[in-house]
Amino acid sequence: MDNTTTLLGLLGTGASYGYDLKSRYDRWFGLKKPLAFGQVYTTLTRLMRNGWIVAIGAEAGAGPERKRYGITPAGRARVLEWIFTPEVPSETLQSDLFAKTIIALLLGDDAGRLLDLQRSRHMARMRELTNEKRGAGLAVVLACDHALFHIEADLRWIDLTAARLSQLQAEVKK
Amino acid sequence: MNKVETISMSARAPENGSAPLLSARGLRLAFGLTEALRGIDLDCHAGEIIAVTGPSGSGKSTLLHVLAGVLVPDEGTVDYDTVRLTDLDEAGRSRLRLDKFGFVFQYGQLLPDLNAVDNVTIPLLLAGVKRREARRRADAWLDRLGLGECSRKLPGQLSGGQAQRVAIARALATKPTLLFTDEPTGSLDSLAAETVMLALTEAARDANTAVILTTHDPRTAAYADREVVVRDGQITIGGAYG
């Protein structure tokens, strides 16, 4: 899963302190493995270096200095590009697709469209594999079948998520 | 957003210079208050194989029936070659279906009292082919689909996959330019479905017959040249970049 762009996407909903950003990340994506604080700040540093976020002032107080981070237009463009670029089908795809879907809903982008784009990418790969099977030996056929069934599982998830987008939208807005 | 892919909201095939064999524009059809089709454009070129997919109740079977001239849309047009299908009366549409179209249904729907070769012979006789020649062609089609040894069996003695291949032979025997098939693998297990789709697509390609099929199964859809996704009576993906 692309943690860097996922964090950037979360900042697209509004400027945030590092701690708040981590909490929001963990709510959606950290159920099994919460994000380490250190990783949040190294990621924010990298995002700033790329010009995708900026620090918005520092507040002096009793505790340590606190900075808020806000997304730049270039950062928002990077999030859009990420959301609408289909992934190469793979076993780790589901978590990335889930992250894109949630971020798209949080930002009011077209989550249905990203699922359609990914579905088309999957179907194109299925057509390639199906053509590879024509006239091939059984070993090749079975290898292609293995890949086809995995892609089909992803497709089922995509279709089911597409059917539940309104429900997910309502949950995201809570 | 310059790298963002765009999707076509209609389902026209990539330009290849030739006029489409079948062209539908602005199709709308309601059953009572339910809008089954809500403005569909679709082109199918000669020899092209298109899979229409979508969830149950999305309108894909209704679309197939409108394209085949079985149902008449409330609005929109369907042109087959130079004929405006949607301007024909029922008799005209029946004639066109008999002369130019083939059909394969989910359960084959073979005539149960006739053996396999007689089932394939019937449409040839209806088309005016002499009995001896019709029989020869029917046998050749059954051989082509790997059913030579089943030609004297009744439909009840065939497996689901064999019966479906007989239905394909029956549909292709009259050399249609366009074959419509509604869930051709819907009642079959994975292996039989694969055998049927391989037979269907290879036979159709050899005969340069275009195919429009509906399916809810991605593996069946993957045998097509492109996929058209229907949701809520509209095309959401035309496969233009697929």
Residue A64 has pLDDT above 90, yes or no: no
Least confident stretch, A28-32, A33-37, B9-13, B86-90: B9-13
Interface of chain A toward chain B, CB-CB under 8 angstroms: 77, 80-81, 84-86, 112-113, 116-117, 119-124, 126-127, 129-130, 134, 148, 151-152, 155, 159, 162-163
Looking at A17, A50, A83, the residue that finishes a domain is: A83
C-beta of residue B53 within 8 angstroms of C-beta of residue B228: yes
Asked if residue A94 and residue A76 are part of one domain, the reply reads: no
pLDDT the model gives residue A59 = 60
pLDDT the model gives residue B9 = 40
Number of domains in chain B: 1
Looking at A48, A83, A118, the residue that finishes a domain is: A83
Would residue B157 count as lying in a domain? no
Least confident stretch, A93-102, A157-166, B50-59, B163-172: A93-102
Tell me how far apart the terminal alpha carbons of chain B are, to the nearest angstrom. 19
Give me the percent of chain B exceeding a pLDDT of 90: 67
Least confident stretch, A71-85, A156-170, B53-67, B226-240: B226-240
What's the domain range around B93? 22-109+164-237
Residue B47 has pLDDT above 50, yes or no: yes
- B158-217 confidence digits (pLDDT tens): 998 899 999 999 999 999 999 999 998 888 888 888 988 998 999 899 999 999 999 989
Q: What is the CATH number of the domain that holds A28?
A: 1.10.10.10
Name every chain A residue with its beta carbon within 8 A of the beta carbon of B206: none
How many Cβ pairs closer than 8 A exist between chain A and B?
Answer: 61
Asked if residue A44 and residue A79 are part of one domain, the reply reads: yes
Name every chain B residue with its beta carbon within 8 A of the beta carbon of A120: 7, 227, 237, 239, 241-242
pLDDT the model gives residue B107 = 73
Name every chain A residue with its beta carbon within 8 A of the beta carbon of B225: 127
Asked if residue A47 and residue A101 are part of one domain, the reply reads: no
- A118-168 confidence digits (pLDDT tens): 999 999 999 999 999 998 888 889 889 988 998 998 898 998 899 899 999
Find the CB nearest A84 among B4, B225, B239.
B4
Q: What is the CATH number of the domain that holds B96?
A: 3.40.50.300
Asked if residue A22 and residue A1 are part of one domain, the reply reads: yes
Best to test chain B binding among A81, A130, A157 (most B CBs inside 10 Å): A130
Name every chain A residue with its beta carbon within 8 A of the beta carbon of B56: none
Would residue B68 count as lying in a domain? yes
- B161-170 confidence digits (pLDDT tens): 899 999 999 9
Mean pLDDT of A63-92: 85
Would residue B210 count as lying in a domain? yes
Least confident stretch, A41-45, A48-52, B162-166, B184-188: B184-188
A138 or A78: which leads in pLDDT:
A78
Would residue B156 count as lying in a domain? no
Residue B187 buriedness (CB in 10 A; 0-12 / 13-18 / 19+): middle
Looking at A83, A114, A136, the residue that finishes a domain is: A83
Tell me how far apart the terminal alpha carbons of chain A are, to the nearest angstrom. 24
Residue B240 has pLDDT above 50, yes or no: no
Residue B59 has pLDDT above 50, yes or no: yes
Asked if residue A78 and residue A21 are part of one domain, the reply reads: yes
Asked if residue A92 and residue A78 are part of one domain, the reply reads: no
pLDDT bracket for residue B2 (50, 70, 90): very low
Name every chain B residue with its beta carbon within 8 A of the beta carbon of A134: 198, 202
Find the CB nearest B4 among A81, A124, A127.
A81
Sign of torsion, CA A84 A85 A87 A88? positive
What's the domain range around A2? 1-83
pLDDT the model gives residue A6 = 94
pLDDT the model gives residue B16 = 56
Asked if residue A168 and residue A93 are part of one domain, the reply reads: yes
CA–CA min distance A19, chain B (Å)? 30
Asked if residue A107 and residue A64 are part of one domain, the reply reads: no
pLDDT bracket for residue A93 (50, 70, 90): low
Asked if residue A153 and residue A140 are part of one domain, the reply reads: yes
Asked if residue A116 and residue A76 are part of one domain, the reply reads: no
Phi, psi of B239 (to 5 degrees): 70, 20
pLDDT the model gives residue B241 = 29
Number of domains in chain A: 2
Name every chain A residue with its beta carbon within 8 A of the beta carbon of B3: 81, 85
Contact across the interface for B218 and A152, Cβ inside 8 Å: yes
What the block records as the tokens of B164 is 């479906």
Residue B66 has pLDDT above 60, yes or no: yes
Find the CB nearest B3 among A81, A119, A130.
A81
Residue A137 buriedness (CB in 10 A; 0-12 / 13-18 / 19+): exposed
pLDDT the model gives residue B96 = 92
Give CA torsion, residues B5, B9, B11, B13, to 10 deg: -40
Contact across the interface for B7 and A116, Cβ inside 8 Å: yes
Complex ipTM: 0.76
A153, closest residue in chain B (CA to CA): B218
Name every chain A residue with its beta carbon within 8 A of the beta carbon of B232: none
Number of Cβ within 10 Å of residue B52's Cβ equals 26
Contact across the interface for A116 and B55, Cβ inside 8 Å: no
